[in-house]
A and B are shown apart, each in its own frame.
Chain A
Amino acid sequence: MTAHPTPLAVDQLIDDRRTRIIVCCGSGGVGKTTIAASVGLRAAERGRHVVVLTVDPARRLAQSMGLTSLDNTPRQVSGIQPDDPDAPGSMHAMMLDMKRTFDEIVEAHADPDRAAQILANPFYQSLSSSFAGTQEYMAMEKLGQLRRADEWDLIVVDTPPSRSALDFLDAPQRLSRFLDGRLLRLLVAPAKFGGRTGLKMFNVGFGMVTGVVTKIIGGQLLRDVQTFVSAMDTMFGGFRERAEYTYRLLRAPGTAFLVIAAPEHDALREASYFVERLEQDEMPLAGLILNRVHESPADRLSAARSLAAAESLQGSRGGDPTGLGEVALRLHAERMRRIGSEQRLAQRFTTAHPLVPVATILAQPDDVHDLAGLRAIGSAFGANS
């Protein structure tokens, strides 16, 4: 039996003023950034005041939105064409600079001397620029900041190009758990706990632990970590609170998740995991956007018939002197096979998740790098609903 998904009404979602945050997630290489930008543009042209937070846009896509550098500041996008000139919307876009976002948190929470000390710490520098999860944490942090600033009535977030779509949800907690962790504190400040009874035995084992850790990571790094931790001491609780704030934000009414996938096996498997995870965490899933789907104006001619026709033309150049007919029929057969495979994959997703609404975006022959291209994708949302 064929399962038909409910169409995903993106316009309804962006027209609803109660929608304040749209999170676009999915595995890498599925066109997440482009979709996030198109959703933002369409919402702005339909009268919303939108900010789009991107993480790693293609150069030309960034330029199309007027973003020339990674500067962590929302820039107004020009060239918005309001649907209703009496109620024009606006669009801002920004690229996340994770290190600067981290630096700003430190500067906001510590006095200038201490902040300078933290920023100069070698361990902090590698943590803020290369710790797996820092980018996700900072994307969430930025989202929280934008929401608190309340200057925009809709925030569209493009999630980092994680190995797995789930990293976006887990990494922030991982970072805050790590910074907040007992082990980190014990390791760097065992003296604090030494006086308490009951811990003596632990301290014996603990000596071995520090010994091995020092052996592995080296004394210098451990000292850097110690300095870092004591300088950051007052901020640790803050990290967890901030991560919890954004996590709550993601579950609050007004937030909607769009899961983006290409009609390919791996991308749809990731999408399935993500959908299940959102359900489990009671996070509001708006639906799936299936990007880069193929179709054919001549789909009444099946792959098999097209291929047979191509073969009948092969060699006999009577009616097909240039070979164009054969090429066209072979390409059509290939396209029909691809369409068939895409439909089977989409079908499998819908059978597993019958309640998830789906919108389909056709594959574009060229990469999108101007507002017109984004607008064209956006109009597909309208056609879907």
Chain B
Amino acid sequence: MVVSVRDTDWDGVRLHVVTGKGGTGKTTVAAALALALACDGRRVLLMEVEGRQGIAQLFDVPPLPYEERRVAVAPAQDGRPGGDVFALAVDPQSAMIDYLEMFYNLRQAGRALTKLGVLDFATTIAPGLSDVLLTGKAAEAVRRKSGGSPVYGAVVMDAPPTGRIGRFLNVTSEVSGLAKVGPIRGHADTVQNVIRSPQTVVHFVTLLEEMPVQETLDGIAELREISAGEIRPGGIFVNMTRPGAAELADRGDGDRQADMLSLALKAAGLGDDPDLAADLAAELSDEERTARAQQAQRRLLDAPGQPCYELPLISDGIDLAGLYRLAAELRGQGAA
């Protein structure tokens, strides 16, 4: 395993769980984080659990099967080659077949049971069972070793949205309705040991808007409460921020702006449009209102005392180049 020579905010963390309200760009941030982590030469596994094939779309590859596949290579750093990013789309049924094979050597039976709809039934009917299987797959990837050293330096999970994250991760209590002893219970305990260790953190992705910020704060409080501090909140990733917006919020002199802009436009050779200064001033005041509203939301995010990272809006849509740019941002800010 390659040991990082840089200090990052999450040294020692092996499982990065990424959550966020719908529409905040959770999958994008998870992917960028995986790339950033791989920059040290580590092999990183990026997992998705909601059957959306969001990773495949992001990396522009065909839909992922239930199989770990290489989707990207991190850029080289300081002359050292970047590590590989593998991706895996997990679904409860395949995880169940895996599980049956691991514990009962029942792969064939697992297939037959799938045909009968039994596995769908079991994962549907048993509260928390799907969650144990999905988090279990992540825990297994974290613990997996080859020749005595871990196969993956880090695992990044694109997890369910903030509203469900507490339940999703609080595995043991969720399956308490299931067998008190026995295989699933034992499995849940193993998973819980990984999730409630300093090896695991839960990152929150948000926008500077009221609802996502509220959900982030509620989510962090919920995790602390349900686990007595054992499930650790990680960073807050403020996504889609806009350049210049922060400084704008402090600039308040509205009336003089049109005059100042008029002079500046002349200096820039745009003086022949007499209305342009007024129109840009109107646009600026609109931007200022947005920036002030966003700053108010940004201040709220300081309350939990977690590290905050800011990721710029990529206005042309996210592609691989955009992901690399976000990954570089994350490294620059110490998230990886």
| A residues apposed to B, CB below 8 Å | 27-30, 58-60, 122-123, 126-127, 130-131, 161, 163-164, 178, 181, 183-184, 187, 208-209, 212-213, 215-221, 224-225, 262, 265-267, 296-298, 300-301, 305, 309-310, 312-313, 316, 318-320, 322, 324-332, 334-335, 337-338, 341, 365-367, 369
Contacts and interface: CB of A to CB of B under 8 A. Distances in A.
Interface string B254-266: 0001001101111
Q: Please provide the 5 A-B residue pairs with the shortest distance between their CB atoms, ordered closest to farther.
A: A29-B23, A325-B264, A319-B267, A28-B22, A218-B179
Interface string B305-336: 00000000101111000000000000000000
Interface in B122-149: 122, 124-127, 129
A318 B243 contact: no
A160 to B, nearest CB: 11
Interface residues of B, number: 72
A215 B316 CA distance: 51
B126 A324 contact: no
A117 B17 CA distance: 39
B211 interface: yes
Interface of B: 21-24, 50, 52, 96, 100, 106, 109, 113, 116-118, 121-122, 124-127, 129, 161, 163, 167, 177-180, 182-185, 209-212, 214, 242-244, 247-248, 251, 257, 260-261, 263-270, 273, 276, 279-284, 286-287, 289-290, 293, 313, 315-318
A63 B317 CA distance: 35
B108 to A, nearest CB: 12
A253 B118 CA distance: 39
Given A218-B126, A318-B267, A367-B293, 6 more contacts: A30-B23, A209-B116, A216-B122, A320-B260, A332-B280, A334-B242
B267 A327 contact: no
Nearest to A309: B268
Nearest to A326: B264
Contacts of A337: 315-316
A216 B129 contact: yes
B24, B52, B281, B286: most-surrounded residue (chain A CB, <10 A): B286
A301 B267 CA distance: 16
A312 B268 CA distance: 6
B248 A331 contact: yes
Given A28-B22, A212-B113, A367-B210, A341 B315 contact: yes
A217 B126 contact: yes
B316 A341 contact: yes
A240 to B, nearest CB: 17
Nearest to A265: B317
Highest count of chain B CB atoms <10 Å: which of A130, A325, A334, A366: A325
Contact of A29 (B24, B52, B313): B24
Contacts of A300: 273, 276
A298 B265 CA distance: 13
Contacts of A334: 242-244, 315
Nearest to A132: B124
B121 A183 contact: yes
Given A130-B127, A178-B124, A218 B184 contact: yes
26 contacts: A28-B21, A58-B210, A163-B50, A184-B121, A213-B122, A217-B179, A218-B177, A218-B180, A219-B179, A221-B125, A221-B126, A224-B177, A266-B23, A300-B273, A309-B265, A320-B263, A320-B268, A324-B260, A325-B260, A325-B263, A326-B264, A334-B243, A334-B244, A338-B313, A341-B317, A367-B293
A172 to B, nearest CB: 15
Contacts of A163: 22, 50, 52, 161
A325 B263 CA distance: 8
Contacts of B122: 213, 216-217
The binding surface of chain B is classed by DSSP as helix
B132 to A, nearest CB: 10
Contacts of B264: 313, 319-320, 324-326, 328-329
Given A163-B50, A325-B268, A209 B118 contact: yes
Query: In the complex, which of the residues B113, B210, B257, B313 has the most CB atoms of chain A within 10 Å of its own CB atom?
Result: B210
Nearest to B318: A265
Nearest to A28: B22
B282 A320 contact: no
Most chain B beta-carbon neighbours within 10 Å: one of A60, A184, A322: A322
A367 B242 contact: no
A164 B50 CA distance: 10
Contacts of B276: 298, 300-301
Contacts of B109: 208, 212
A298 B315 contact: no
A328 B280 contact: yes
Contacts of B257: 324
Nearest to A133: B124
A263 B268 CA distance: 32
Contacts of A309: 265, 268-270
